[in-house]
A and B are shown apart, each in its own frame.
Chain A
């Protein structure tokens, strides 16, 4: 990409390196939470099945589809930046934001239905984990939407391209893909292992 020789590895850019460093700390943040959930669930010996059956697999699956698709749109945006097709990059970024909002909206519908049926964070330990894990994840989605929105505004104004900051979309993409990966594990952990 930068015309380096085959045997010389180009130095990673600061932004990219910083983001990966941050994601390493994020793996431990979610990791501690997930480890305790996995172990408590294993210790329960199937005792949580009855209450865990009440999550909506349909809505969880739709949200998995939404997030996987948003990962595709943001990586296509990065690709378009590298090809100098800024309009296409801006549009793909817009789709990513929209899909993030759709994810949160669906999550909101789920929460509303669950709480109305009496499943709240204090119902029992399963629902406590459920709301904490999906809540922390939803917070990350919200942050991702804000980051992408800031870049989108830059793209619309043209500052992102004029100041040669297009690579920021790639860095934002790394974060967004990470949040997608967290959901890839939350989906079987909370929705499918009943």
Chain B
């Protein structure tokens, strides 16, 4: 990423890249890809966008170890929590999750 003299990222360029990624994720959603590929693409793009915002706008890239640890630990906990709940909810789902949801009579579009 464009970095100027003293730890000074080019914020405008970061913003341009973020907007490009938004367009790419929209394109990926509308392309006739398989659902699996679409889901992987849009979430990889979201993760890259989040990393860009955290690294450059929130200055995590140049922040000390303490703040880096405060930021990363809950993210790891979130991942552990999600994975540990996976067997309960996805492999042995309750009826509320699996019932097919019908749209109401009238629709937005």
Contact = CB atoms under 8 A, between A and B. Distances in A.
Interface in B12-69: 12, 14-15, 18-19, 22, 25-26, 29, 35, 38-39, 42-43, 45-46, 49-50, 53-54, 56-58, 63-67
Contacts of A42: 89-90
B24 to A, nearest CB: 12
A48 to B, nearest CB: 5
Interface of B is mostly: helix
A156 interface: no
A72 B78 contact: no
Interface string A1-38: 10000000110100011001101110110011011101
Interface in B91-109: 93, 96-109
A124 B19 CA distance: 33
Given A35-B78, A72-B15, A75-B11, A117 B107 contact: yes
Contacts, number: 166
B2 interface: no
B1 interface: no
B89 A12 contact: no
| Most chain A beta-carbon contacts within 10 A, residue among B35, B39, B77, B103 | B103
Given A28-B74, A65-B19, A71-B57, A9 B65 contact: yes
Contact of A174 (B58, B77, B109): B58
A117 to B, nearest CB: 5
B42 A40 contact: no
B5 interface: no
B81 A35 contact: yes
A150 to B, nearest CB: 21
A45 B35 CA distance: 11
A98 interface: no
A180 B66 contact: no
A57 B42 CA distance: 14
Interface stretch (A132-140, A161-169, A186-194): A186-194
A181 B81 CA distance: 20
9 contacts: A24-B70, A24-B71, A35-B85, A36-B85, A39-B86, A45-B98, A124-B102, A173-B58, A188-B43
Interface of B: 6-8, 11-12, 14-15, 18-19, 22, 25-26, 29, 35, 38-39, 42-43, 45-46, 49-50, 53-54, 56-58, 63-67, 70-71, 73-75, 77-78, 81-82, 85-86, 89-90, 93, 96-109
Interface of A: 1, 9-10, 12, 16-17, 20-21, 23-25, 27-28, 31-32, 34-36, 38-40, 42-48, 50-51, 53-57, 61, 64-65, 68-69, 71-72, 75-76, 79, 113-114, 117-119, 123-126, 173-174, 177-178, 180-181, 184-185, 187-188, 192-193
Given A40-B96, A43-B98, A44-B98, 13 more contacts: A12-B64, A35-B78, A38-B82, A43-B90, A43-B97, A44-B93, A48-B101, A56-B108, A65-B22, A117-B106, A174-B58, A188-B43, A193-B42
